[in-house]
Structure 1
């Protein structure tokens, strides 16, 4: 079966003065869209989503999607609906591409898993994805020599690039989630800095590994975790030194230091003077 028989839905929307509306609709294949221009507000199954210029938008079979705005005249986009191995009558979590497209089933499975568990349908594009999708639309619109072979190679490259984008976005989401947890932990650490923290214990509180936790702390504070912890302890000790008659040793212990010698050393490293001189 030829591509012109497999791929029947594709196109290029140009910006234009006359108003037009992207009405709510469904497709029986995987639709990939490259949005070149326009700040759009679309929805998928009733859930609204902002779509920015230079982004990708996708929908799975039988997802109702379209614009929440009455008219969108200034947008420019390229779209293709890619055929699947069969006509699905309802939504599924297990899709495969048509066999003539020759996409590895394990790659498709990985991509579909990422798409079905994603909470959004729009991602930043890459120059490679934009070029490939535009090229597929152009090839489908023309009658050139070796057109079939060209579209097949472009399509396979597009799916590889899209899978890479999804993988990077998944890692980004995981990173963002970890960042939020570390920020929350650091907010609480100021009141808990007197505790005998180990790096493993701090990382465990954030449900992260030691290395990832340390990297995120340094990203947020500019310091490794232990250095930042000591800074909090020193700031706390300065308050006691100025307002309390306790001994320097007791203040050190109260702030989390296990010996007066270590307290004095760290204090001088951070403040340039000894606790006694500061007091």
Structure 2
């Protein structure tokens, strides 16, 4: 499961990669935990490393890695070829000389929509945070002084950019990581830990070279609520209360409700109801699902209660809304 503060994406975004590797369509060298692809990392080996790997794609594919979140910070680089990458509304064509970093709450995808010929490497590291307002804690194997780790965390938390041009030092670091990923054997994971640490050290220089001041808003409680609300539309089926929404943001009910009003000018439950009604209307217009099933998809255990709320919101019944959506357009006069 790939979970973050702005939603839970239950479909495995790595499934197309895993299938392509199993078919032999691509070269794939990877280690991971849980649902991540590759050889399983043993307990106690590089704790906090969720995934690292390299793919070598020599021909354009018919798949991509769809929108998803990770449970840690992901660093991605390309050493040969080019591939599309998007985070939020920003798109890039990544090639050699680029690196991306996505935080746990940043939705992103690789392939626009499909993966093109390239050699791409990545690693995903837990930092003890799933929300913008949480402090970071790096795994013990990252071989940087604590002051540098704290500085790197501050640089990444105070910016929301996800892609950077890199210099020769970082290019050499990712080349060494690529070689380590291609060379399994004795002490392979020890080498990987050192090479990933090198990349993170070079990342400090990359970020310090950016003439942009850290934005305190990006680590604020209000930003955390903003991220949560942005992802709430993907989680309308969950049994939310004001208390559980506030808890998901690490806030008390009063403070959470205050920030919600500041951001969307309504109460949390009114905002949730609006999202649920929009979702229900889309399902009524675009699927053959029963009203009872649609009610469940919108977080209502009772189809009658769903119909009542729907009628209050749209001034029509769910069935009337479905008939209006499927009615043929009038003939030209």
* Residue 49 (structure 1) aligned with residue 91 (structure 2): yes
**Of residues 32, 49, 55 in structure 1, which corresponds to 2:75?**
32
Size of the aligned set, in residue pairs, is 169
Contact 1:30 1:58 in 2 (8 A): yes
Q: CA deviation at 1:98?
A: 0.8
* Residue 159 (structure 1) aligned with residue 204 (structure 2): no
Counterpart in the other structure of 1:104: 145
Counterpart in the other structure of 2:164: 123
Partners of 1:67 and 1:146 lie apart in 2 by 30
Contact 2:143 2:194 in 1 (8 A): no
**Of residues 72, 95, 104 in structure 2, which corresponds to 1:61?**
104
| More helix by percentage | 1
1:218-275, Cα deviation, whole Å (9 max, x unpaired)? xxxxxxxxxxxxxxxxxxxxxxxxxxxxxxxxxxxxxxxxxxxxxxxxxxxxxxxxxx
Contact 1:93 1:116 in 2 (8 A): no
> Which sits farther off after the overlay, 67-76 or 158-167?
67-76
Q: CA deviation at 1:123?
A: 0.9
Q: CA deviation at 1:121?
A: 1.2
Larger radius of gyration: 1
TM-align CA RMSD: 2.8
SS state at 2:61 partner: coil
Change (3 A) 1:134 1:91: farther
* Residue 73 (structure 1) aligned with residue 116 (structure 2): yes
- In structure 2, list runs of 5 or more residues that go unmatched: 1-43, 214-333
* Residue 21 (structure 1) aligned with residue 46 (structure 2): no
Contact 1:10 1:78 in 2 (8 A): yes
Q: CA deviation at 1:167?
A: 0.7
Partners of 1:168 and 1:106 lie apart in 2 by 18
- So what's the TM-score if we normalise by structure 1? 0.51
Q: CA deviation at 1:31?
A: 1.0
Q: CA deviation at 1:68?
A: 7.1
Partners of 1:49 and 1:79 lie apart in 2 by 18
Q: CA deviation at 1:66?
A: 0.7
| More strand by percentage | 2
Change (3 A) 1:9 1:62: farther
Change (3 A) 1:34 1:27: same
- In structure 1, list runs of 5 or more residues that go unmatched: 175-279
- So what's the TM-score if we normalise by structure 2? 0.44
1:22-47, Cα deviation, whole Å (9 max, x unpaired)? 21111112211112345554332x22
Change (3 A) 1:150 1:93: same
Contact 1:27 1:61 in 2 (8 A): yes
Counterpart in the other structure of 2:321: none
